[in-house]
Amino acid sequence: MKQLMYFLSALLLTSITVNAEAINKEETSETIVSSYRGYGKSFIFNEQGIEFSVYADGQFDFYMPNYGPKVNVSIGSPNVNISFNSGYDYSAYVQYDEYGAIIQIENTPIYYDYYGRITQAGDIYINYNNRGFITRVGGLYVHYNRYNTFDHCTGYINVYNRGYVYRPWHRYYAIPAYNHCVVYNRPYRQHYTPIRYRYNRPYTNNYRRTTAVASRRGNTISRNRSYASNTNGRTRASSPTRTRTRDNVSTPRTRGNNSVSTPRTRGNTSSPRTRGTTSTTTPRTGGNASTPRTRGNSTTPNTESAIKHS
């Protein structure tokens, strides 16, 4: 009888252990994207009604809740296509440039650096370190260890994205496929400024093409007009000059100087600098006339002694 009790107790303890391990594994799978406050695999934020997922190397994915699939129906279904890179077609709302990169989603502009890494999504700026990894997303600072592996974050992206909020569809975000990649190790976009157009209606016959980076020949990346979206009849969007400096203008930096070409002087005119001297050519004298300098004497000879003698 005692052996039977021991056997039943062992079975009960084993089942409790297995259940605890299963619960821990389930919690780990659900919270793995929440490690390091949710930022590790990618940096997820909402901007102008679009949810972006930006990866450490500058590639990104996005999801549009207003136009995308119903996530409460799609989650758990086979062959889920929710985000742009997972296969859902958002091309009716996307403008492509001549390299095949996305430069605008509806009226939200997307900017890149010379290497094709995203540097701005709407009003969110993104910076990188000298190894090509993200160091800042808005007001969120990303820290790495000495092996350049993600360590932790400080701050927050903006007042609308103060912290990561887990959503079930976040597991479906992915980097672009190889033929849709726009990041390259050479500054191929250095001398290129695309033209953005105001979004007022969905694009037609607009689809995602192979990018110029994927179809390059060797190290040469060439622009192709066929990669860009057809923008006939659309109004060009106003794009103010993007400068990431503080109060700088396009002219060279000076300290309180104007733009005239005269040399810098201190309240001087074009005449030589003098100290209260007139422009006459007479020699310098101490209040005397042009006669030779004398000491209070007139020009007549001294006759005082002769008068006294007489």
**Tens digits of residue pLDDT in 35-76:** 456 777 899 999 999 999 999 999 999 999 998 887 765 555
> What integer pLDDT is reported at residue 125 of this predicted model?
98
What is the residue-wise DSSP string for the chain?
-HHHHHHHHHHHHHHHHHHHHHHHHHHHHHHGGGGGGG-SS-EEEEETTEEEEE-TTS-EEEE-TTTS--HHHHTTSSS---STTTT---GGGEEE-TTS-EEEETTEEEEE-TTS-EEEETTEEEEE-TTS-EEEETTEEEEE-TTS-EEEEEE-SBTTBSS----GGGGG--PPPGGG----SS-TTTT--PPPB---S--SS------TTTT-BTTB----GGGS---TTPPBPP------SSS--SSPP-SS--S--SPP-SS--SSPP-SS--S--SPP-SS--SSPP-SS--SS---HHHHHH-
pLDDT score of 296 more than 80: no
Predicted confidence band of residue 256 (pLDDT cuts 50, 70, 90): very low
Stretch 113-134: mean pLDDT, rounded?
Answer: 97
**% residues pLDDT > 90 (the chain):** 48
pLDDT score of 30 more than 90: no
Note the pLDDT tens digit of each residue in 135-177. 999 999 999 999 888 888 999 999 999 999 989 899 899 999 9
pLDDT score of 232 more than 90: no
Q: Are 63 and 82 in contact (CB under 8 A)?
A: yes
pLDDT score of 134 more than 60: yes
pLDDT score of 105 more than 60: yes
> What integer pLDDT is reported at residue 76 of this predicted model?
59
Which of these, 43, 94, 84, 78, lies nearest to 63 by C-alpha position? 84
Predicted confidence band of residue 231 (pLDDT cuts 50, 70, 90): confident
> What integer pLDDT is reported at residue 68 of this predicted model?
83
